[in-house]
Amino acid sequence: MVTIGTPGSSSAKRVMLLGSGELGKEVAIELQRLGCEVIAVDRYADAPAMQVAHKAHVINMLDEKTLYELIRSESPDLVVPEIEAIATEALLTVEAEGTTVVPTARAANLTMNRRGIRELVASELEIRTSPYRFVESLEELTQAVTEVGLPCVVKPVMSSSGKGQSTIKDEGDIRAAWDYALAGTRGGADSLIVEGFVDFDYEITLLTIRHAGGVSFCDPIGHRQEAGDYRESWQPQPMADSVLAECQSIATRVSKALGGYGLFGMEFFIQGDTVYFSEVSPRPHDTGLVTLISQNLSEFQLHVRAILGLPIPLIQQYGPSASCPVLVRGESNAVEFVDVDQALVEPHTDLRLFGKPEVHGSRRMGVVITRRDTVEDARAAAVRLSDRVRVGPSSDVSRQSGTVLK
């Protein structure tokens, strides 16, 4: 029996979100639809989820003492990490003291650091991954490039959204890749992972949900990335039944090893009939924004149902769908969007503007989601309609255009 009280009262089911971006905002909305009290936390003020939460706090979530003290003072029923940049030692401590961390503090700890999750998957579970090396100096990086071969990908062991990630195509790129990775790392870590390049045919996100009734899957989501960050996603990604079954088997094993209830974004490279595990996020995934239009239950609804112990009797896919982010580049704390109406003139189309308070460099500020008769039509429509959303001349920023790759 699941019991949910009244927000603001002594009976409230209180949920603390650690990370309050666009994904956290959708989680907060779904929690509130089910009567939960939401506390949004992030490193900056007016983050998207804070705009819809009951309470908000701005702290450095990488500061273990500060994070621990905030959790203790608020005493939430559930702590829900929504980003990687968190002092997971504090989560391990509060979980040991009796607070529920979603899906588990161990899962948050392992997946924040690429060393932890790679060693779990490749060494303990013996699941196929790309060849890899961990390095802590420029000299070790040079040696690792020789061992895994060119081209190869270099990433910080702790980062998100492609920050610090680059591809080394020849030896002349090594120093620049080292400097770029260190600049993009989070949490003060100076370790990098070097991954051998997999010449994959396509890559997918398999949204995997561990809940009270077992393990469920969404249809596979195809996606395209640039500089480690997603530029398009679509659902379903066509693939052989046997390959999908192997991905589901791996996802079940990995999510079981991480434990707890919730949604896991499992990423795989597919090369012919061969499956390579790539990464996992124990939370809703950015490529899963497409599920806001493609399914009866979005990834955010699924995550919330799972963490609250609620049933998930059916996940129904409505038809070929796609998403394309609204990307903005520049410097501004007052971005204005114009021609918003032009993004919504076609049926089976929706737009989410995230309400992020500022842009420094390049930032995802919204997303267009579409449903059409074919995946190809959905992808083309999502990119075309995303490009119609422009920024006003007073915003001191520019739009980055999306391009569908054939």
140-to-137, 168, 175, 182, 243 alpha-carbon distances in Å: 5, 15, 12, 14, 36
Q: State the Cα–Cα distance between residues 290 and 285, nearest whole angstrom.
A: 10
β pairing state of 14-18 and 78-81 = parallel
**What amino acid is encoded at 175 in this protein?**
R
What are the pLDDT digits (tens) for 248-288? Answer: 999 999 999 999 999 999 999 999 999 999 999 999 999 99
Q: Catalytic residue numbers?
A: 160, 162, 267, 279, 286-287, 364
pLDDT category of residue 392 using cuts at 50, 70 and 90: confident
* Under 8 Å between Cβ of 15 and 306: no
> Whole-number mean pLDDT of the chain?
94
Task: Choose the weakest-confidence range: 134-148, 201-215, 230-244, 382-396.
Answer: 382-396
pLDDT digits (tens, 9 = 90+) for 108-134: 999 988 889 999 999 999 999 999 999
Residue 291: closest CA among 267, 264, 322, 262: 322
Q: Is the pLDDT of residue 187 over 70?
A: no
CA distance 358 to 356: 6
pLDDT at residue 405 tops 60 = no
What is residue 84's predicted lDDT score, i.e. its pLDDT?
87
Per-residue model confidence (pLDDT) at position 403: 57
Q: Measured between alpha carbons, how far is 163 from 158 in angstroms, rounded to an integer?
A: 9
Tell me the whole-structure pTM to 2 decimals.
Answer: 0.94
| Average pLDDT value for residue range 96-107 | 98
pLDDT band of residue 158 (cuts 50, 70, 90) is confident
Span of 2-11, 344-353, 386-395 with lowest mean pLDDT: 386-395
From residue 245, give the alpha-carbon distance in Å to each of 235, 274, 275: 17, 12, 10
Handedness of CA 119, 121, 123, 127 (dihedral sign): negative
Q: How many CB atoms lie within 10 A of CB 2?
A: 11
pLDDT over threshold 90, residue 217: yes
pLDDT at 161 (0 to 100): 65
**Residue 289, pLDDT above cutoff 60:** yes
Give tens-digit pLDDT for 338-369: 999 999 999 999 999 999 999 999 999 999 99
Q: What is the pLDDT of residues 30-67, one digit of tens each?
A: 999 999 999 999 999 999 999 999 999 999 999 999 99
Q: Higher pLDDT residue, 158 or 156?
A: 156
